[in-house]
Structure 1
Amino acid sequence: MTEAERYDAVVIGNGEGGKYLAWDMAQAGQKVAVMERRWIGGSCPNINCLPSKNEIWSAGVAHTVAHAGEYGVVAGPVSVDMKTVVARKRAMVESLVAFHLERYEATGAELVMGNARLVAPGTIQVALNDGGMRRLATEKLFLNLGTHATIPPVPGLAETRPLTHIEALELDRLPAHLIVLGGGYVGLELAQAYRRFGSRVTVVDRGPRLLKREDEDVSDEVRLILEAEGVEVLLSAEVANVEGRSAGSVRVTVRTPDGSRMIEGTDILVAAGRTPNTRGIGLEEAGVALTDPGTIKVNDRLETTAKDVWAIGECAGSPQFTHASLDDFRIIRDNLDGGDRTTTGRLMPYCMFIDPPLARIGMSEAQARANGMDLRVVKLPMKAVLRTRTTSQTAGFMKALVDPQDRIAGFTMIGSEAGEVMAVVQAAMLGGLSYSVLRDAVLAHPTMAEGLNALFGNVAKR
């Protein structure tokens, strides 16, 4: 048996939180190794956040050019070269991978490419990608395992070789008719993007509305935006079976309240949630327990059921956002240094990058009502924000929740630059400021953020 190499810390998975933790500890003089099967830098710069936003931006350019005449700009017929779209995205990914390799070199953290498996508490065996085996022993272990796309157990679906977001972002051809299974954030972003590239797109969701985590008025507005661009949305549709082969001909049979229906397309994309990468890597050998959904069981300090083992990001049940994983890193880093930070009560913003985008922080109206909270709800259509009149981007609205102490409990926006406007509200929430601060703030005119004056001006006084 190979003798174990000794390390102060080992990180399995080099997602956002894991890599920053490794770099931080290595720069502090500790001997640190990071295990990674495939993606240098993690999924975000390679196959998720940044590649999707890159191609979504290309789709937005195509949409702008196609509608240039509405702004008095005469342009010829629009054609999209998907090979160039993908090449642009790949060039970005390559530059990000190079950046990450430079960071590993600069910090002294060792990147080990291979499949890691726990064989005993504090002991990891790695089957190296280039052949051979290594065994590492560590004082501290950090699990940053991530997730993968869930393929629902629908008869015939797996046999069609469906696209996930990974393959969809590598398509250098334009699907004639893309069928998207799932009305969540990833599915809707890609649905709109491919519609703008020129595909016919049908979104199928078994729920009565899109984006079930959001308020009903948010779901309805997003549906209207997509349908206005020609995306077909089929709700309350349970997929019964799938036939054919993606990238050729696929037939999806769905059951709806009005009876069965067959949808014929050329490609099928599955965007039906994520499954934690926690099976088959020996967590039980280290005494690491899982929850029923398969995430690693942790406390609010991200400590697992095993001594000196922590979990980071999606595999720990943290929200499935890169910025959540980064905050997990901060919590663990500070606590290792004697702090007492937890995940309890942290504000978690997020954006969905359709156009116009959706941004939310804090509670939704539905969550507040379900908890019996006494909140004031105010809403402002984006057409009331004068900046939208200059851009003709009037779709959407702002909505805020204000508690009895005049603090902002939640904010949602569908509209141009929603993520940037949300950050203003987040700063006020983090500071515990009264809504009146934003109501009365001198905000530059004409900007999207200026709408916050009017939005909070609608709050009824107690």
Structure 2
Amino acid sequence: MQPEVEAYDLLVLGSGEAGKYIAWDAAASGRKTALIERRYIGGSCPNIACLPSKNFIYSASVAHLAGQADRFGLHPAQPGVDMEAVRGRKRAMVEGLIKVHEGRFAQTGAELIRGEGRFVAPKTIEVALNGGGIRVLTGAHVVISTGSRASIDPIPGLRESCPLTHVEALELGVVPARLVVLGGGYAGLELAQAFRRLGSEVTIIDRNHRLLPRADEDVAEAVTRAFLAEGIELVTDARVTRVEGRSGEDVRLHLEGGMGQLQVGGTHLLVATGRNPNTAGIGLEAAGVVLTQAGFVQVDERLRTTAEGVFAVGDCAGSPHFTHIAFDDHRVVRETLAGRNRVTTGRLVPSCLFVDPELAQIGLSETEARRTSTPYRLLKLPMAAVLRTRTTGHTDGFLKALVGRGDDRILGFTALGSCAGELMATVQLAMSAGLPYTALRDSIFAHPTYSEGLVYLFSGSPTAVE
């Protein structure tokens, strides 16, 4: 017997950042709303990605700082890392976040349906409930928020080696003796440095000629120096031809590239080579939703799909893979449903790499300015000139800003150093408001703070760059 079709004002498939906020806003405004989630309440960010990884990275930074305690006149009695305690701290945080999410569903009245959802007709989703049974739901509007997953390239032996992704790496209860990290992107770099600080021997393998190939040369060089100084081995311009063994026991990667043919071995293998959208197997063809060639849901500037009344948000829609962008995707859909105007085009997209020194970037980089032949003037300041760093000893890195050649608009900003992400927010606000760089130059920031460094940076004389 076919289950009865249940009608809703709004259905959301997947509880990632954008999807959950859309559901909460809609329900709070009185719309009958249901959100379908098969596993992670709140999506990947609070469960297995952003927040857990930053929790883990912070534990590693504390371990690193403890190893330098003598510099501060301290003598800790018991050196060493208890990985079960590190993991326990992370798990406790995740459990707390899940309770917060459950409370938000209860508060707003959005119905949380636990199960596997797939489209069976336009704007109609069949849900195989986790506890057994089937429900069929239809919505006046539907939002696809299914996210993405770590990709495993079709390299001979790679999948058979049972490699770690970030998900499994953050659940380890032991420190890997020797960790091989395949991929030098954001996730790979963050976890590589964290495991090194927790006591692993670490090797990063990347197919590009250097770390952070899209970043400015001075940024890439500084991050590379920092990693080498911590004893992390780097193998770049290398392609993996096959993998032998099993991660967690003994694994060996066969490489070829600029260094010729070589082998790299370890006890554990972490794969961090990119992400694939979760768009297969959810019946999008039955919904009339078209995918791009890369497998993302095809959307317009208001995140509308090719199917009437159906939106897609976040990673699965090809938005930049940042939680803060997914949150803005929710605002775009919310405003569109309300008949107001908000689009994804022209957004300032901030990024932050949580390594030490931290890297934050907003707007135009020098590399992009040259590629687009955009004229600019450059301001640059070493972090050592920010007096707050003299009190902490964290003097590595620099600040730099690009300003217009014909006006004083801030075109882009890069911070490499302590509190880089927090410093970026101030500059981003000035950029969003269309303020000239002189507004920051002439501000009074408290002394001694990291933000005070922005006054020093923008008090310099901008140099025209050809």
Same fold (TM over 0.5): yes
**Counterpart AA for 2:84:** K
2: CA distance, partners of 1:124 / 1:42: 19
Deviates most, 349-358 or 43-52: 349-358
Runs of 4+ in 1 over 6 A off after TM superposition: none
Match runs of 1:234-383 below 5 Å = 234-383=235-384
**Counterpart AA for 2:294:** P
**Counterpart AA for 2:328:** D
The 3 A distance-change label for structure 1 pair 171 and 453 is same
1: CA distance, partners of 2:356 / 2:142: 41
Match runs of 1:348-427 below 5 Å = 348-403=349-404, 404-427=406-429
Match of 2:453 among 451, 454, 459: 451
Q: Percent identity?
A: 55
SS across alignment from 1:194: helix
C-alpha displacement at 1:457, in angstroms? 2.1
2: CA distance, partners of 1:194 / 1:283: 39
The 3 A distance-change label for structure 1 pair 461 and 83 is closer
Please list every run of 5 or more consecutive structure 1 residues that lacks an aligned counterpart in the other structure. Answer: none
User: Is this contact kept in 2: 1:376–1:459, CA < 8 A?
Assistant: no
SS across alignment from 2:128: strand
2: CA distance, partners of 1:156 / 1:334: 48
C-alpha displacement at 1:273, in angstroms? 0.5
Tell me how large the CA RMSD over aligned residues is: 1.1
Structure-2 residue corresponding to 1:31: 32
C-alpha displacement at 1:164, in angstroms? 0.2
1: CA distance, partners of 2:358 / 2:463: 31
Structure-1 residue corresponding to 2:164: 163
Structure-2 residue corresponding to 1:103: 104
SS across alignment from 1:394: coil
**Counterpart AA for 2:447:** H
**Counterpart AA for 1:249:** D
Deviations 1:245-282 (A, max 9, x none): 00000001111323111111000000000000011111
2: CA distance, partners of 1:265 / 1:76: 31
C-alpha displacement at 1:75, in angstroms? 2.1
1: CA distance, partners of 2:269 / 2:259: 23
C-alpha displacement at 1:461, in angstroms? 7.7
User: Is this contact kept in 1: 2:238–2:259, CA < 8 A?
Assistant: no
Match of 1:433 among 401, 425, 435: 435
1: CA distance, partners of 2:461 / 2:423: 18
2: CA distance, partners of 1:349 / 1:146: 19
C-alpha displacement at 1:460, in angstroms? 2.9
Structure-1 residue corresponding to 2:123: 122
Give the TM-score, by structure 1 length.
0.98
C-alpha displacement at 1:148, in angstroms? 0.2
Structure-2 residue corresponding to 1:228: 229
**Counterpart AA for 1:455:** L
User: Is this contact kept in 2: 1:66–1:77, CA < 8 A?
Assistant: no
2: CA distance, partners of 1:102 / 1:125: 26
2: CA distance, partners of 1:162 / 1:355: 26
Structure-1 residue corresponding to 2:87: 86
C-alpha displacement at 1:223, in angstroms? 1.0
1: CA distance, partners of 2:357 / 2:245: 35
**Counterpart AA for 1:434:** P
SS across alignment from 1:50: helix
Structure-2 residue corresponding to 1:11: 12
Deviations 1:318-351 (A, max 9, x none): 1111110110111111121121110111111121
Deviates most, 72-81 or 32-41: 72-81
C-alpha displacement at 1:29, in angstroms? 1.0
Deviations 1:400-428 (A, max 9, x none): 11012211011111100001100110111
Give the TM-score, by structure 2 length.
0.97
Deviates most, 207-216 or 27-36: 207-216
SS across alignment from 1:230: coil
Please list every run of 5 or more consecutive structure 2 residues that lacks an aligned counterpart in the other structure. Answer: none
C-alpha displacement at 1:190, in angstroms? 0.3
User: Is this contact kept in 2: 1:118–1:285, CA < 8 A?
Assistant: yes
SS across alignment from 1:369: helix
SS across alignment from 1:8: strand
Deviations 1:48-83 (A, max 9, x none): 001001111110110111001112212235200000
C-alpha displacement at 1:234, in angstroms? 1.1
User: Is this contact kept in 1: 2:156–2:241, CA < 8 A?
Assistant: yes
2: CA distance, partners of 1:76 / 1:166: 33
**Counterpart AA for 2:153:** P
